[in-house]
Amino acid sequence: MIMLVKLLGIVIVILTVTFIVKPEIMKQYMAFWKDKKKLYMGGGISILLGILLLLAAPQCTLPLVVTIVGIWAVVKGILIFALGPQKMISWMDTLSGKPVGILRLLVSISLAIGILLIYSA
């Protein structure tokens, strides 16, 4: 389970560094998720990863960090289903219209989370 936490952290770091270097890739990534079925699939994946993080947390060096990220992932997944595809797509459209500097700042938060997961595992 600890390897799963580390692997997730590594994937998050790789994605976010890619998004920081090439923000247009992040816009393409968001465009991919704008399909209703893909959006619901993403919500399900988020809930599943959140549950896995919660199960792995007691075995980690910093269980509180992994627990918080796991809860956040579960809540995010539930919100995707609760808010529905129209709200989520509208939010993604608003976000993708922001200046590159703002996008890089927001993505750097994910970078910090990825690094914390790697360190916590």
pTM value > 0.75: yes
Domain coordinates in residue numbering, the chain = 2-120
Tell me how crowded residue 64 is: count the other CB atoms within 10 A of its CB: 10
Q: What CA–CA distance (Å, rounded) separates 121 from 60? A: 5
| Segment 64-100, tens digit of pLDDT | 999 999 999 999 999 999 998 899 999 888 888 889 8
